A and B are shown apart, each in its own frame.
Chain A
Amino acid sequence: LAKTTQPISMDSYEGQEVNITCSHNNIATNDYITWYQQFPSQGPRFIIQGYKTKVTNEVASLFIPADRKSSTLSLPRVSLSDTAVYYCLVGDLGTGGFKTIFGAGTRLFVKA
């Protein structure tokens, strides 16, 4: 499984766009990139998933360059409620019994 590296923490202000970058230099051809969000005392929650280029949903966008060695989660106009830990994972969707491995994540703190 590809190892991921993220910043430990980030600060932002309400209304700003936040970009969290994840490095995954040894990503394999069949690997997808997935981001999760976790609030205190809750389990992680799926945000977005992609393979290449750009993916957008109602919550976030995911940018993946051509070499796929990194990815950037973009949160538009954050609010105080976006304060959470964000995890980046990479893995093969086609492999049965895939192990979902979480790193330490990025702690985002949104200030008023």
Chain B
Amino acid sequence: DVKVTQSSRYLVKRTGEKVFLECVQDMDHENMFWYRQDPGLGLRLIYFSYDVKMKEKGDIPEGYSVSREKKERFSLILESASTNQTSMYLCASSGGGGTEAFFGQGTRLTVV
């Protein structure tokens, strides 16, 4: 069974903290993605990576960075968390060129 695992289901952080969201996939997929989902806005792409150490900005990269040191792991970093980054964060992976993406269960982040 394919699996995308996000390190936390729920997270509460303080404004100004550096936050790490971790995602691991066991399918040897080339592509990995980070989205945020907010009510009424659907899923918005933050960053994606199509290979180790490669990354590209999505639609809303401001305030975020990413790291992909190993093929199976893709980390999202909030350099200085702010309240407007309170959201559901979803990680996904897909094979080379494919549009079938597999998603993790999501991390609900609250910044107070």
Contacts and interface: CB of A to CB of B under 8 A. Distances in A.
Interface of A: 32, 34, 36, 41-46, 49, 87, 89, 91-105
A96 B45 contact: no
Interface string B57-76: 01100000000000000000
Interface residues of B, number: 34
Contact of B97 (A36, A41, A45, A98): A98
Contacts of B88: 41
A96 B105 CA distance: 25
Interface of B: 4, 30-31, 33, 35, 40-45, 48, 50-51, 54, 56, 58-59, 88, 90, 92, 94, 96-106, 108
Secondary structure type dominating chain A contacts: loop
A98 B101 CA distance: 10
A104 B50 contact: no
Given A91-B99, A96-B97, A100-B99, 8 more contacts: A41-B88, A41-B106, A43-B103, A97-B30, A97-B54, A99-B45, A99-B56, A100-B45
B109 to A, nearest CB: 14
Contacts of B48: 97, 99-100
Contacts of B105: 42-43
A34 to B, nearest CB: 5
B56 A46 contact: no
Contacts of A41: 88, 106, 108
A99 B58 contact: yes
Given A97-B48, A100-B33, A105-B42, A46 B106 contact: no
11 contacts: A43-B90, A43-B106, A46-B101, A97-B30, A98-B99, A100-B31, A100-B33, A100-B92, A100-B101, A102-B44, A104-B40
